[in-house]
Amino acid sequence: MKFKQCMVEETFKGVRPVRLLVDCGAARKLGGYQKSGVYKLWMNTTKTYFKIICEHTPNNSFNVIQRRVDGRENFNRLWHDYVAGFGSSQADYWAGLNSIYYLTNHQGNSILTVNLQDWAGINKNARYNYFKLMDSTHFRLSIGGYSGDTGDSMSQNNNMVFATPDKLDTHRCAAGYQGGWWFNYCTYAFLNGKYYYGGPYQPSGQFYDESPIVQ
């Protein structure tokens, strides 16, 4: 999961930042950085920073907020982990709800892109032209404007608060699905489930449009 918009300080060895930037798009536009990797992003008018993966393509720059690679990272985590973020820049990764909230509120509109691959190696993509976390307490999701070939599964999660196994939703979906998400009795899409490499559908696994995925 990734979206367009980055105040960043480049962290690659031997490079000195000339200014503080606010998102991955600004890293490219104002800082001239075009190498994908981990950046420090600085919150407006504060000395607070957080780290995020910036993915630079020939035409765009994206803030990467979630990635599944090989299943080594456990996504069945508690509330404080999902708020702060966890994982590795080289493998499975969750940017953190605080970071996502800041990035979707500090300026303009955010566009969410979801890139998926199933067990057969088939790739599909979803794009949402509006993506935002509405508050920094419950991290309520606002999402809309779907296009793509995956099916519009995340619109069902619109206006839902984030839930984890220790911060339960009304129908205890987070406990049953074993991961954090914007559940709505429960969900048609769940990208923070257990990483399976194949086999029959598992309710605790990742899925989108009710189809199993690997990344």
Global pTM reads 0.81
pLDDT reported for residue 11: 35
Whether residue 54 lies inside any domain: the answer is: yes
Asked if 104 contacts 111 with a C-beta cutoff of 8 angstroms, the reply is no
pLDDT reported for residue 209: 52
Q: Which of 12-16, 165-169, 209-213 has the highest mean pLDDT?
A: 165-169
Give the DSSP letter of residue 31.
Answer: T
Provide the residue type at 182 as one letter: W
pLDDT reported for residue 59: 72
Give the DSSP letter of residue 162.
Answer: P
CA distance 138 to 168: 12
pLDDT reported for residue 3: 47
What is the CA angle 83-84-89, rounded to 5? 125
pLDDT band for position 128 (cuts 50, 70, 90):
very high
Whether residue 195 lies inside any domain: the answer is: no
Whether residue 83 lies inside any domain: the answer is: yes
Q: What's the CATH number where 147 sits?
A: 3.90.215.10
Q: In the block, which residue shows the tokens 């035409």? A: 59
Provide the residue type at 166 as one letter: D
- Helix %, strand %, coil % of the chain (to 5): 15, 30, 55
Whether residue 50 lies inside any domain: the answer is: yes
pLDDT reported for residue 14: 39
pLDDT reported for residue 6: 33
Mean pLDDT of 189-193: 90
User: Model confidence over 135-182: pLDDT tens digits?
Assistant: 999 999 999 999 999 889 999 999 999 999 999 788 899 999 999 999
Asked if 8 contacts 31 with a C-beta cutoff of 8 angstroms, the reply is yes
Whether residue 68 lies inside any domain: the answer is: yes
Q: What residues pair up with 3 in beta bridges, in sequence order?
A: 63, 112
Whether residue 86 lies inside any domain: the answer is: yes
Whether residue 90 lies inside any domain: the answer is: yes
Whether residue 73 lies inside any domain: the answer is: yes
More confident residue, 34 or 3: 34
Asked if 117 contacts 211 with a C-beta cutoff of 8 angstroms, the reply is no
Q: In the block, which residue shows the tokens 């990797």? A: 37
Total domains, the chain? 1
Q: In the block, which residue shows the tokens 């508690």? A: 78
* Lowest mean pLDDT segment, chosen from 68-72, 126-130, 162-166: 68-72
- Beta-carbon count within 10 A of 4 CB: 18
pLDDT reported for residue 53: 80
pLDDT reported for residue 18: 43
pLDDT at residue 205 is higher than 90: no
More confident residue, 64 or 30: 64
Q: Write out the two tokens for 10.
A: 């480049």
pLDDT band for position 200 (cuts 50, 70, 90):
low
Strand boundaries in the chain, DSSP class E: 2-4, 8-10, 37-42, 49-56, 61-64, 66-67, 86-87, 93-94, 111-117, 123-133, 141-148, 189-190, 207-208, 211-212
Mean pLDDT of 15-42: 60
Where in the sequence is the domain holding 87, given as residue range(s)? 2-161
